[in-house]
Amino acid sequence: RAKADGRGTFCFFRDEMAQTVEARRILELDLRKALANEEFELFYQPLVNLKTGRIATCEALLRWNHPVRGTVSPIDIIPVAEDMGLIVDLGRWILRKACIECMKWPEGVSVAVNFSPQQFHQRDVLSEVRYALEVSGLSAHRLEIEITESSLLRNTQLTHDVLSQLRTIGVKISLDDFGTGYSSLSYLHNFPLQKVKIDRSFLEGIDSDRPLTLLRGVARLSADLGMSVVVEGIETNEQLERISADGTVTEAQGYLFSRPVPAVRIRQLLNASHGRHLSEEQLLAVPS
Ligand code: C2E
Ligand code: MG
Ligand code: MG
Ligand code: MG
């Protein structure tokens, strides 16, 4: 796949470049085997409803337990899987696994699954989703699909159709990492979305004195357009207080509540607490 066919611009590899190419080739080979060898695992991280203090949703986050490298981050897996075209198979596994897992949780808790653009734009995405719901027995309203702005770059009729068909069957669509990409505010009203997840980069500096103006503005706009608003990456009580002060933000996610944890652990957490997770102290900090 390297442009090393002699005629291209890159005739000569430097050593390190050759090493990178080799490392990449090995990674691809390993990835191909990983699905069959059951080396992938899903971790789950709660999204807490700020009104009720209960866990509303748990987001499925991919982990790869590599026999030699140890745990590999999704940031290193997903882009490679996309290049290889493996993302469709991998994404199918993730979706089904997450739906099956959600069936073990209390009724009121949903599961959020990240979709990469390739997965979202695959021709039979709707049947993939329907099938995952069918085999797991999960009702559609307990599934949320997280897409990023890059999935909405193709502002085509097809993209609109897929989104509205998903909504028709009852699946929620959540716009992830809002504020990191092109951040066109027009996405928020042009597409049928039910949730916006404001990226944690919006929290930078709010512990000190930087005003929350931008975050609040985006949150209010989203809420006015009828969407739920989530803020990602809450790590401190102070951040939680600041983002919940005006009541616009509906859910929060971050290390303050829980890091992503293995399926067994999230199940214990959910069943022990019946979905309640905020400490009393934290609950008091949240306006009702
Ligand atoms: P994301 O969907 O925005 O997921 C949130 C990421 O932020 C997770 O990283 C999570 O561990 C991290 N995070 C959560 N709370 C905090 C916090 O308080 N502080 C900090 N510093 N980080 C926090 P993770 O698990 O490494 O995933 C990274 C990204 O990889 C995800 O970002 C998503 O874009 C992608 N990804 C993960 N799993 C999947 C998957 O199953 N499919 C696809 N297509 N992409 C995935
Ligand atoms: Mg996400
Ligand atoms: Mg995110
Ligand atoms: Mg992110």
Give the chain's largest Cα–Cα span. 68
pLDDT at 75 over 50: yes
Confirm or reject: Cβ of 68 under 6 Å from ligand 1: no
Confirm or reject: Cβ of 73 under 6 Å from ligand 1: yes
**198 C-alpha vs ligand 3 centroid, how far in Å?**
8
Confirm or reject: Cβ of 177 under 6 Å from ligand 1: yes
Alpha helix stretches (DSSP H) within the chain: 15-36, 74-84, 87-102, 117-120, 125-136, 157-169, 186-190, 213-224, 237-244, 263-273, 280-285
**130 C-alpha vs ligand 1 centroid, how far in Å?**
25
pLDDT at 110 over 60: yes
Answer for the pair 116, 83: CB distance below 8 angstroms, yes or no.
Answer: no
pLDDT, mean of residues 232-241 = 93
pTM of the model as a whole: 0.90
Confirm or reject: Cβ of 48 under 6 Å from ligand 1: no
Kindly report, residue by residue over 6-44, the tens digit of the pLDDT: 444 554 556 666 778 888 889 999 999 999 999 999 999
CA distances to 74, 132, 169, 173, 279 from 140, in Å: 26, 10, 7, 11, 30
ipTM of the complex: 0.98
Residue 260: the pLDDT is 97
Ligand 3 ion: nearby residues, β-carbon < 5 Å: 176-177, 232
